Structures are given as structure tokens and as C-alpha cells.
């Protein structure tokens, strides 16, 4: 049996200036266990793990490995002590091959410092075969799908003989199927004697694999939880108050169809048809959720509607008017509200104030502008009412938007887009990287917009969110519409459709062989 390792964090405190990210945190990771750190975004989980991995020095407290206090001056020390980490944002050099990335920092060399990648290739093959990873050591990282990149990260840790593997939000970038595979890999690693620290805020996954759960809230340990506890219990521990996980949503009352997309094709600069002959329509008072794995044309679809894509064919009709070929400004003026998928890049200007961000689309119109001058008083006034209405947690509207937490930033974007009378509302990844409390709020606002009689289009890679919000579900795969299915379609059927199977064969497949793996199947109503 391989060497095992017991890891203990005692009274770890980490301050950044006046901000206390970790406040006297105690965690014990027993050998051969999957220990979950459960907490919302911004609770301090990642900071804690960066302290453990030697990337940050703790302000107070100590780390004990097998009962002995250690000091990590850098990740090198942590790795030498048998700790490996898979970061949320992969630490892989995109232009390097798998072997080069794995070798980096622990290179085997021939005489004279020449690289000996053969040795690394052999090790990769060994681990790859053992866990069924199927990774080619000579493939370039930038050519690999994210799921495979993640396996490369795990290989990196295993090659360095990690006894404790830290996985920081590992499922954030994965499809439901990939997630199931990862959970299987975690169990396999555990049975081979590797302990795992699993950082997550996704309750279903946490419940599926954890042996022990430590809940962290606002930088403090609030207690241990039993993996058998219900998701509602876990969620309220994590958030610190009772949470209602299921959205109260009245059945849709679709009215007349006002938004139609016909044979829409978007051609990328590479010549690829990234959106390929898509047709669908949305009625007033209805939410159409577009599901699919990231990168299957969702981004281009929403951009085409907004007028951001150059080479489009087909037709996009809103109340009978053609949107295609019009500038973004004209599309917005036509009454389209748009929440982009990446709020920090496309949704907000981080260095501008919250108030300014709230009028980015109307800054040049009355009452915010008069001739060539803006009216700061009006803009601040507007900010006050929006901040109240959308419960943005900030002391003042004149603070930079970049200082807000993810959830509050998203509320600002949503507040701006919903502040105009809309004829179509599109939200892309409306709750990505947003805390549970805000998710609840944002979902309610989206449903409220629907009930006001606006056609709503949601694009999400989170199956839970799709299932929760949708009145109808459209699944995209490789730029094509696989099918549109009614709300209430099974999670397993949707998962297969996301892999490209038609609705009919997906139904047939799930009927014959019930693939009830850990995360797919059970408990439909959960938040991620």
C-alpha cells in the first residue's frame, strides 16, 4: 500500500489588507478520504487551498503534515510534501504538449540538462492506462477539450506522487457526463489511497462523493455536515439562512409568437458554420432555454441576434421586423434586453461606477443626457432606485462596479437590461459564478419578466438552471439544433441530446438502459 498522509490545518487566518479571507480555520483531512469544503463563491475556500498549496503565506496558523508542523514557501514545498492541486483555471501552457506540461518543474533530464520527455511520456501512459484517461502525451493542450485538460492536471499531480489532491471547483467547466466521469475518477483515486480535498458549491456532487463535509461561510468554518443530509439542509448551512431551492413558478401562459429565428447560419472567420441553419420561435410570456455544452454555438447565436456577428444568413424577426443586418444600437432600441455570458468582459466596465454601468445603454438619451452633456444627478438617482429594486449589496452607487461580488455585478447587469420596456429578453449564463442567494433572486426576476409578457431566451450550460427556468428546452450541438423538447424532459435525455443524439433516440436509449449515475437522474429540483 502506498504511503498515506494526514493533513491538518490549524487556526489558519489569511488577511488581505483589512479583508479577512480566512478566519481561524481548522480542517483535518484524514488519509484516504474525500473531504469536501462546501461554501459559496467568495466564502474563502480557494484562498484556504492556496495557503495550503504554498501560493499564499498564512497570516496566522499552521499546517501539519502527519502531525508535524510545516512551512510551505512555495508550491514546490507543498508538492514535495505530497500535496497536488488542480486549479479552477487550469495551470497548463496552451502551446505546450501534454508531456511538456506534465514535465514542467519536475523534468527528467539527460546529461547536460537536455530534456528527457520519453520518461514523462511513459509515466503519462502508465497513469492514463491505470485510470482510463485516454490522454495522448504529444497532443497540444490548446487542441484538447476541457475535460481532457482537467485529466492532464490530475496526471500532473499524480506524476509528482501527490498523496493529497486538491480539486478547486473541478466541475465548473464540465458537462453532466464529464462530471460523472470525474466523480468516478475521484472514487478510483480514493480507493488507491489518494486523499482528495474537493472544493465545491454544487450540492448534488458534494453529496455524491464526499466522506466528510466542512462548510465554510464568510471565511469561517460553520461546521461539519453529514453527506447524508438533504440538499436543503446543506444549502441553508452554506448560505446561513433558510433557502428555498425550488423556484415558485406559475405555469407559462404563452400568448402570441413575436420572436422568430428562421434558418439562421453564422459563419465564423474560420469558415466554420458555428450556427448551422437554426429555426425556432418564442411566444410572449414564455421562456425558451437553450441548453448545450459550452462552445456549441450558443455564444454566436446570441451575438447574431444582437447584431454582433458579421456573417449571418437567415432571418431574425421581432414583431415582424427584421433584426438581422441592423447595428447593435438599433437592435437594443428595438427593445431587446441582453445579459452577456461574461459580465466582467461584456457586461460591465469594471472601473466605471455602478451608476454609470446602470446607464451604459441609455447614457446618450434623456433624462441622462442633455445635448452633449450628461446629467450625473439623474444617473445617481436612477442608480439608487435600481440598487434598491435589485437588492445590490453596496454602500454607494458611485463605487466602481469591479469592486462588487459576482452576484451583485450580475444584478447590476440585469437591472440595467430590465430597466427598459422590452420586447425580447436574452440572458446568457445568467447565474454563472453567482452565490445561491443571488441565484434565487435573479431567477425570480427572469420569471417575472416572462410573466410581464416578454418572450425570454435563456442560454445556460448548467442543466439545473435550464430545467428550473425553461418552459421549452432547445438543445444545441455543434451549431445545430438537436431538438426542442418540453419542460419536464428527463435530465438523462437532455444529457444525451447535449452529446448530439436526437430527442427520439435519446428517449429510446434512456428507456432501454437506465443510466442512473450519481449526478444525473436524482433530485431534479436542486440548484447546481
Where on the chain is the footprint of other proteins (CB under 8 A)?
50, 53, 55-56, 74-77, 79, 85, 87, 90-96, 100-101, 103-107, 109, 112-115, 134-136, 138-140, 142-148, 156, 174-175, 177-178, 181, 268-272, 274, 293-296, 478-479, 495, 498-500
Q: Which of 423, 459, 413, 437 is nearest to 296 (CA)?
A: 459
Give dist(CA 95, CA 105) in Å, integer: 16
Strands 287-291 and 472-477, sheet pairing? parallel
Residue 165: strand, helix, or coil: strand
> In the complex with other proteins, which residue's Cβ is closer, 73 or 241?
73
Closest distance of CB 528 from other proteins, Å:
17
Closest distance of CB 138 from other proteins, Å:
7
> In the complex with other proteins, which residue's Cβ is closer, 75 or 453?
75
Give dist(CA 314, CA 323) in Å, integer: 11
> In the complex with other proteins, which residue's Cβ is closer, 208 or 392?
208
Environment class of 474 (CB within 10 Å of its CB; exposed 0-12, middle 13-18, buried 19+): buried
Closest distance of CB 381 from other proteins, Å:
38
Closest distance of CB 112 from other proteins, Å:
8
Give dist(CA 236, CA 222) in Å, integer: 11
Rg (CA), the chain: 25
Closest distance of CB 347 from other proteins, Å:
24
Closest distance of CB 117 from other proteins, Å:
9
Beta-carbon neighbour count of residue 324 at 10 Å? 18
**Could you tell me if 86 and 165 are in contact, meaning their C-beta atoms sit under 8 angstroms apart?**
yes
> In the complex with other proteins, which residue's Cβ is closer, 106 or 328?
106
Closest distance of CB 496 from other proteins, Å:
9
> In the complex with other proteins, which residue's Cβ is closer, 11 or 76?
76
Give dist(CA 345, CA 327) in Å, integer: 20
Strands 373-374 and 220-225, sheet pairing? unpaired
Closest distance of CB 78 from other proteins, Å:
8
State residue 349 phi and psi, 5-degree precision: -110, 105
State residue 324 phi and psi, 5-degree precision: -65, 135
**Could you tell me if 510 and 492 are in contact, meaning their C-beta atoms sit under 8 angstroms apart?**
yes
> In the complex with other proteins, which residue's Cβ is closer, 92 or 379?
92
**Grid cell in block for residue 115:** 530534456
> In the complex with other proteins, which residue's Cβ is closer, 84 or 397?
84
Name every residue whose Cβ is closer than 8 Å to that of residue 132 and which is 6 or more positions away in sequence. Answer: none
State residue 335 phi and psi, 5-degree precision: 100, 35
HSE (CB half, 13 Å, CA atoms) of 433? 14
With cell 475518477, the residue in question is 185
Q: Dihedral sign, CA of 137, 140, 142, 143?
A: negative
Number of residues that this document lists for the chain: 528
Residue 287: strand, helix, or coil: strand
> In the complex with other proteins, which residue's Cβ is closer, 178 or 528?
178
Closest distance of CB 145 from other proteins, Å:
5
> In the complex with other proteins, which residue's Cβ is closer, 143 or 330?
143
Closest distance of CB 75 from other proteins, Å:
5
**Could you tell me if 32 and 4 are in contact, meaning their C-beta atoms sit under 8 angstroms apart?**
yes
Burial 382-415 (b: 16+ CB within 10 A, else e): bbeebbeebebebeebeeebeebbbbbbbbbbbb
> In the complex with other proteins, which residue's Cβ is closer, 6 or 160?
160
Closest distance of CB 498 from other proteins, Å:
6
**Grid cell in block for residue 286:** 414564455
Name every residue whose Cβ is closer than 8 Å to that of residue 357 and which is 6 or more positions away in sequence. Answer: 348, 349, 401, 412, 413, 416
> In the complex with other proteins, which residue's Cβ is closer, 46 or 419?
46
> In the complex with other proteins, which residue's Cβ is closer, 178 or 286?
178
> In the complex with other proteins, which residue's Cβ is closer, 148 or 332?
148
Closest distance of CB 323 from other proteins, Å:
26
Q: Which of 155, 158, 200 is nearest to 179 (CA)?
A: 200
Closest distance of CB 101 from other proteins, Å:
8
> In the complex with other proteins, which residue's Cβ is closer, 84 or 430?
84
Give dist(CA 395, CA 374) in Å, integer: 23
Closest distance of CB 441 from other proteins, Å:
30
Give dist(CA 140, CA 326) in Å, integer: 40
Amino acid at each position: 500500500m502506498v504511503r498515506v498522509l494526514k493533513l491538518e490545518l490549524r487556526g489558519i487566518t489569511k488577511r488581505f489588507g483589512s479583508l479577512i479571507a480566512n478566519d481561524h480555520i481548522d480542517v483535518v483531512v484524514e488519509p484516504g478520504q474525500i473531504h469536501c469544503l462546501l461554501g459559496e463563491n467568495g466564502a474563502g475556500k480557494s484562498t484556504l487551498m492556496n495557503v495550503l498549496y504554498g501560493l499564499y503565506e498564512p497570516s496566522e496558523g499552521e499546517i501539519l503534515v502527519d502531525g508535524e508542523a510545516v512551512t510551505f514557501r512555495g508550491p514546490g514545498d507543498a508538492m514535495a510534501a505530497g500535496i497536488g492541486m488542480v486549479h479552477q483555471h487550469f495551470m497548463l501552457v496552451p502551446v505546450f504538449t501534454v508531456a511538456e506540461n506534465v514535465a514542467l518543474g519536475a523534468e527528467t533530464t539527460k546529461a547536460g540538462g537536455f530534456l528527457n520527455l520519453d520518461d514523462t511520456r511513459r509515466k503519462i501512459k502508465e497513469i492514463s492506462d491505470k485510470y482510463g484517461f485516454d490522454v495522448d502525451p504529444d497532443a497540444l493542450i490548446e487542441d484538447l477539450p476541457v475535460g481532457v485538460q482537467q485529466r492532464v492536471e490530475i496526471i500532473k499531480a499524480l506524476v509528482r506522487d501527490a498523496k493529497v489532491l486538491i480539486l478547486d471547483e473541478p466541475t465548473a467547466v464540465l458537462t453532466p457526463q464529464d462530471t460523472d466521469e470525474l466523480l468516478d475518477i475521484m472514487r478510483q483515486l480514493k480507493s488507491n489511497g489518494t486523499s482528495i480535498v474537493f472544493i465545491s458549491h454544487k450540492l448534488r456532487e458534494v453529496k455524491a462523493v464526499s466522506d466528510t463535509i466542512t462548510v465554510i461561510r464568510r471565511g469561517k468554518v460553520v461546521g461539519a455536515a453529514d453527506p447524508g443530509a438533504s440538499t436543503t439542509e446543506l444549502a441553508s448551512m452554506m448560505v446561513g439562512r433558510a433557502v428555498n431551492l425550488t423556484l415558485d413558478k406559475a405555469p407559462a401562459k404563452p400568448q402570441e409568437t413575436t420572436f422568430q429565428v428562421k434558418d439562421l447560419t453564422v459563419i465564423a472567420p474560420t469558415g466554420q458554420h458555428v450556427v448551422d441553419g437554426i429555426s425556432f420561435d418564442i411566444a410572449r410570456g414564455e421562456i425558451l432555454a437553450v441548453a448545450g455544452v459550452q462552445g456549441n454555438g450558443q455564444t454566436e447565436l446570441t451575438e447574431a441576434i444582437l447584431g454582433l456577428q458579421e456573417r449571418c444568413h437567415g432571418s431574425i424577426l421581432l414583431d415582424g421586423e427584421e433584426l438581422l443586418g441592423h447595428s447593435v444600437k438599433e437592435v437594443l432600441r428595438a427593445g431587446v434586453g441582453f445579459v452577456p455570458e461574461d459580465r466582467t468582459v461584456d457586461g460591465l466596465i469594471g472601473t466605471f461606477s455602478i451608476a454609470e454601468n446602470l446607464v451604459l445603454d441609455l447614457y446618450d438619451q434623456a433624462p441622462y443626457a442633455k445635448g452633449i452633456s450628461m446629467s450625473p444627478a439623474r444617473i445617481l438617482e436612477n442608480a439608487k432606485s435600481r440598487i434598491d429594486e435589485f437588492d445590490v449589496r453596496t454602500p454607494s452607487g458611485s463605487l466602481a462596479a469591479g469592486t462588487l461580488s459576482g452576484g451583485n455585478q450580475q444584478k447590476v447587469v440585469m437591472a440595467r437590461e430590465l430597466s427598459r420596456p422590452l420586447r425580447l429578453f436574452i440572458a446568457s449564463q445568467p447565474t454563472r459564478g453567482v452565490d445561491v442567494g443571488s441565484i434565487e433572486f435573479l431567477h425570480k426576476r427572469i420569471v417575472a419578466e416572462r410573466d410581464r409578457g416578454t418572450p425570454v431566451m435563456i442560454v445556460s450550460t448548467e442543466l439545473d438552471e435550464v430545467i428550473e427556468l425553461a418552459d421549452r428546452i432547445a438543445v444545441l450541438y455543434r451549431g445545430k439544433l438537436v431538438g426542442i423538447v418540453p419542460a419536464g424532459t428527463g435530465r438523462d435525455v437532455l444529457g444525451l441530446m447535449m452529446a448530439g443524439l436526437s430527442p427520439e433516440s435519446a428517449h429510446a436509449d434512456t428507456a432501454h438502459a437506465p443510466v442512473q449515475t450519481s449526478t444525473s437522474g436524482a433530485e431534479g429540483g436542486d440548484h447546481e
